Amino acid sequence: MSEVPVQSRIVVLVKQVLDANVRPRVRPDGSGVDLANLKLSMNPFDEIALEAAVKLKEQGEAQEVIAITVGRGKAQDTLRAALAMGADRGILVECEPELEPLAVAKAAWSVITDLEPVLVIAGKQAIDDDCHQTGQMLAALLGWGQALCASRIALSHDHAEVDCEVDNGRETLRLPLPAVVTTDLRLNTPRSISLPNLMKAKSKPIDIVASSALEIDVRPRLKIVEVREPRVRSAGVKVETAAEIAKVLKELTVA
Amino acid sequence: MKTLVLAEHNGSAVESATYAAIAAAALIGGVEVLVAGFGCGAAADEAARLEGVDRVLLADAPAYRDQLAENVSALVLSLMPQFDAFIAPTTSRGKGVAPRVAAILDVMQISDIVAVDAPRVFRRPIYAGNAIQTVTSDEAKLVVTVRISAFRSLGVRDGACEIVSVSQAEELGLSELIGSDIVKSDRPELASAKIIVSGGRALRDAETFARTLTPLADRLGAAIGASRAAVDAGYISNEYQVGQTGKIVAPEVYFAIGISGAIQHLAGMKESRVIIAINSDPDAPIFQVADYALVGDLFEAIPEILEHLGA
Ligand SMILES: Cc1cc2nc3c(=O)[nH]c(=O)nc-3n(C[C@@H](O)[C@H](O)[C@H](O)COP(=O)(O)OP(=O)(O)OC[C@H]3O[C@@H](n4cnc5c(N)ncnc54)[C@H](O)[C@@H]3O)c2cc1C
Ligand SMILES: Cc1cc2nc3c(=O)[nH]c(=O)nc-3n(C[C@H](O)[C@H](O)[C@H](O)COP(=O)(O)OP(=O)(O)OC[C@H]3O[C@@H](n4cnc5c(N)ncnc54)[C@H](O)[C@@H]3O)c2cc1C
């Protein structure tokens, strides 16, 4: 790979998830969460990732933005949304649904090595499985550096400078490119999709790659024994005055 | 099974997240703790006195000074032939290191467990805690991250275990820390606080947020938290956000003040022992989980509470 990539590409990982405003239903038999007929959307952190990539392109820091999703055929809806937000093209790695982060990372890895991007941006976590591991796994497989929970990304010709939200504040990392960055909510506010851009997206290309064509093992490694509703908390008592709250605090011996 | 626990530390002291990871690891097998850093001998000494720890591995070298995920995960991988499981707390550092270790070991990571049912059977929340998944793994090695608020520390003992050095340090040069802005506060840490006073969008602006909540937090010796709406509106910075995509807490008392109680917020605090909510809307969803609910204006209620507490 050349020092300064002629075609500097940014790859964004986008995942289709149950819409954040929909309440998931646990199947009574404990076999999982029922997604049938429920609204699916792009993982909110991936919208932030895509917005970051498109902004970098608009600033002239990148020439092409490619959105990749790993999943079933209908995940193409999420790629279309990515194209409408400004991605230039999309890649669907078509797999059976039981995908674990390791399998997603491997699928992305095998596609990305051919694309030679300068940067891969993913969400810090997907709001369904809440695993927060895919981006890091991908970085490890590629042998690249990582910056997680980004609230600022600046690119120079061979480095990225990233502000990362950490437990007790913020750290700034400098990474040689190529690298993997995951996004936090402070990074930006994703643009809403306009009708003309939605129409334009229809003519942008989506490549479909069968995971079976990639030499990777995407079998699930974990066995889900069951999925249950959490313990429910019942509502407590209504108190009438602030004085009663003070009394409660004293009784709890915290005050 | 032999487990290797990644210590969360600041160079001189072990942080509370480590205690939770050790407690979970002890349910899986024998525990050894890795302290990786530079000039971090004091943290290793402290780790050696923790209940449940058989041995401390100390990697003290400039390459680990900033505990960068790339260097630390390479170190962990070099140690893994001796261990059956790698366990890290679900912290910024743990989340950076564990998936890299899992990917190279070619095993799936089990993220953010809240219970150990058996050495290979774990429970973990999914969908913002709206469902609890029980998973099992029969892979050659286990890689697990542990939700801090879900495990109680095993405590400290009189004697100390052996500390051995494991410095085959390698600076990979894949990342470099060039700045940090770590919030130093006299308040208890959010993740381990016994009492949390959290505020939402109703607190209006940064100045009002601080002016209104600080006296109550000071009076109670509490940590301060916030909803995402409060963080997004700039009332307080990101590291105070409680919720699905913020911090997960489980204090003795959680005060939700002017917070509506969206599922993403509840995901971060509903394991609290006692929840007290103040909200002007009698139908606010927070009241469905609150043990004590006061319907009213927070700007009147808080001064009144303080007055009755004799502050
Ligand atoms: C044992 C097991 C069984 C499962 N069974 C099912 C099932 O039946 N049906 C089902 O729908 N899911 C199933 N899943 C969930 C699985 O498909 C998740 O998508 C996968 O675990 C990714 O984890 P995550 O979303 O928590 O990743 P995270 O690491 O939290 O995601 C971080 C980021 O990685 C990227 N990313 C994650 N997944 C994808 C993707 N697929 N494509 C592109 N980018 C992505 C995104 O940028 C995302 O923001 C199962 C998981 C397990 C462990
Ligand atoms: C993917 C995703 C992830 C998210 N992650 C998180 C997360 O981690 N944490 C989180 O908190 N949120 C998260 N959210 C946002 C969440 O959905 C809510 O938008 C947010 O929690 C609302 O914050 P709030 O309750 O402060 O604000 P609002 O919903 O605006 O509620 C303000 C409340 O204050 C009350 N109020 C107003 N004035 C007064 C007064 N004078 N006295 C008393 N009460 C008053 C109102 O009745 C109202 O109930 C996430 C959302 C998404 C989509």
In total, chain A counts a number of residues equal to 255
How large is the average pLDDT for residues A146-172? 94
Residue among B197, B254, B270, B279 whose CB has most ligand 2 atoms within 8 A, to mutate: B279
- Return the residue whose CA atom lies nearest to atom 1 of ligand 1: A222
Least confident of A24-33, A52-61, B149-158: A24-33
Give the DSSP H or E segment for B276.
strand B274-279
The pLDDT value recorded for residue A2 is 41
User: Tokens for B218?
Assistant: 């000071």
Tell whether the model's pLDDT for residue A149 goes beyond 70.
yes
The pLDDT assigned to A110 comes to: 94
pLDDT at A1 over 50: no
Residue of B92, B116, B270 to mutate for A, most A C-beta atoms under 10 A: B92
From A101, which residue of chain B is nearest by alpha-carbon distance? B108
Considering only CA atoms, give the Rg of chain B.
21
* H-helix or E-strand spanning residue B218: helix B206-220
Nearest-by-CA chain B residue for A174: B176
Question: CA neighbours within 13 Å on the CB side: how many for A197?
Answer: 13
Band the pLDDT of B65: cuts 50, 70, 90.
very high
How many angstroms away from the CA of B53 is the closest CA of chain A? 25
Rounded Cα gap, residues B98 and A133, in angstroms: 8
- DSSP characters for chain A? --SS-SS-EEEEE--EEE-TTSPPEE-TTSS-EE-TT--EEE-HHHHHHHHHHHHHHHTTS-SEEEEEEEE-GGGHHHHHHHHHTT-SEEEEEE--S---HHHHHHHHHHHHHHH--SEEEEES--TTT----HHHHHHHHHT-EEEEEEEEEEE-SSEEEEEEEETTEEEEEEEESSEEEEE-GGG--PPPPPHHHHHHHHTS-EEEEEGGGSS------EEEEEEEPPPPPPP-EEESSHHHHHHHHHHTT--
Cα(A117)–Cα(A11) distance, rounded to whole angstroms? 6
User: Residue B180 contacts by C-beta under 8 Å, 6 or more apart in sequence?
Assistant: A169, A170, A171, A172
Mutation pick for ligand 1 pocket among A98, A181, A214, A224 (CB with most ligand atoms within 8 Å): A98
Q: Ligand 1 center to residue A171 CA distance, Å?
A: 27
Q: Which helix (H) or strand (E) holds B265?
A: helix B263-269
Alpha-carbon gap, residue A13 to A208, rounded angstroms: 15
Omega before A178 within 30 of 0, i.e. cis: yes
Average pLDDT over residues B171-185: 92
Write the residue with the smallest CA distance to atom 39 of ligand 2: B202
Q: Which amino acid is at B102?
A: A
pTM: predicted TM-score of the whole model, two decimal places? 0.90
Between the CA of residue A51 and those of A17, A198, B20, B189, B279, what are the distances in Å? 18, 15, 37, 33, 35
Question: How many angstroms does the Cα of residue A101 sit away from the middle of ligand 1?
Answer: 5
What value does the mean pLDDT take over residues A139-162?
Answer: 96
Residue A78 corresponds to which tokens in the numbers above?
């999420």
What percent of chain B stands above pLDDT 90? 91
Decide if B99 and A101 are in contact by the 8 Å CB cutoff: yes
End-to-end CA distance of chain B: 52
Q: Tell me which residue of B223, B260, B259, B221 sits closest to B239, measured CA to CA.
A: B223
CB contact under 8 A, B136 and A172: no
> Do the chains contact at B293 and A18, CB–CB below 8 Å?
no
Contact B180 A102 (CB under 8 A): no
In this prediction, residue A32 carries a pLDDT of 85
Report how many Cβ contacts below 8 Å link chain A to chain B. 264
- Which segment of A197-211, A222-236, B139-153, B253-267 scores lowest on mean pLDDT? A222-236
In 3D space, the residue among B127, B290, B300 whose CA is nearest the CA of residue B198 turns out to be B290
Any known ligand binding at B242? yes
DSSP symbols for B157-213: -SS--EEEE--------S-EEEEEEEPP-SSPPTTT-SEEEEE-GGG-SHHHHHHHH
pLDDT tens, residue by residue, B214-227: 999 999 999 999 99
Q: What is the pLDDT of residue B204?
A: 96
Report the separation in Å between the CA atom of A16 and the middle of ligand 1, taken as the mean of its atom positions. 9
Give the distance (Å) from ligand 2 centre to CA of residue B200. 6
